[in-house]
């Protein structure tokens, strides 16, 4: 079996790394496979693997901005096009969701209102009824979110799968097996709490009440299940 390739696109905050590991560790744990073949590739410094070497791929979150058009990110966008062309299962998380959208002709920019942060509810759309990744999940469930950029315009062939009042493109699919999710299925309550603390100035500038955000934090089992579901599709 070819490995699942996790494309690491940045690091989380040091306090989280010390206690819980980095983005790629969260994703690896979430996949839940016994003796999984997982290949970690740092997009900033490592060569990206040939599609023939990839069984499935997950693009992680990042503190970078897609709109900065960094050289390594542009290379990742080109790589993403090849993965989708070869119909290799692909999942983009937050930053990764935005990378896929931009690579395939969508538009990414700062959300016109503010950042979105905390544990929030999303709504699945009728398009999920036959979607291989989302089929059978409840129509509404909680997710962890921390982002300031969004997919403002979807690629031409993308199908919207989930939304909420703040963000109309919480999840989408391109083709039969490439997905983007704006939320973080790999994150837990500790991660969301840390992001609120580390981004406290931004949270207050957006007129959020930090204590209210802390009170709303809860675990998100349906969201977390998406990683195992993705692994089962490979």
Mapped onto helix, strand or coil, the DSSP state of residue 169 is coil
Active site residues: 94, 184, 186
Residues 6+ apart with CB under 8 A from 72: 43, 44, 45
Burial class of residue 116, CB neighbours in 10 A (0-12, 13-18, 19+): buried
Residues 6+ apart with CB under 8 A from 39: 3, 4, 5, 6, 49, 53, 54
The C-alpha atoms of residue 196 and residue 119 are separated, in whole angstroms, by: 11
What separation in angstroms does the CA of 177 have from each of 53, 213, 214?
17, 34, 35
């Amino acid at each position: 079996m070819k490995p699942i390739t996790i494309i690491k696109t940045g690091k989380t905050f040091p306090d989280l790394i010390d206690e819980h590991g980095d983005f790629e560790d969260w994703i690896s744990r979430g996949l839940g496979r016994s003796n999984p073949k997982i290949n970690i590739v740092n997009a900033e410094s490592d060569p990206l693997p040939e599609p023939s070497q990839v069984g499935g791929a997950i693009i992680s979150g990042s503190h970078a901005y897609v709109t900065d058009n960094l050289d390594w990110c542009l290379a990742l966008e080109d790589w993403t096009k090849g993965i989708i062309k070869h119909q290799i299962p692909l999942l983009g998380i937050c930053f990764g969701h935005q990378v896929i959208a931009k690579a395939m002709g969508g538009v990414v920019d700062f959300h016109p209102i503010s950042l979105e942060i905390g544990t929030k509810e999303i709504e699945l759309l009728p398009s999920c009824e036959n979607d291989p990744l989302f089929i059978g999940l409840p129509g509404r469930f909680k997710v962890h979110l921390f982002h300031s950029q969004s997919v403002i315009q979807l690629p031409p062939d993308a199908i919207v799968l989930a939304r909420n009042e703040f963000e109309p493109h919480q999840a989408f699919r391109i083709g039969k097996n490439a997905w983007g999710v704006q939320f973080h299925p790999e994150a837990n309550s500790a991660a969301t709490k840390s992001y609120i603390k580390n981004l406290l100035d931004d949270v207050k500038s957006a007129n959020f009440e930090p204590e209210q955000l802390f009170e709303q934090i809860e675990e998100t089992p349906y969201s977390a299940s998406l990683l195992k579901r993705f692994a089962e599709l490979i």
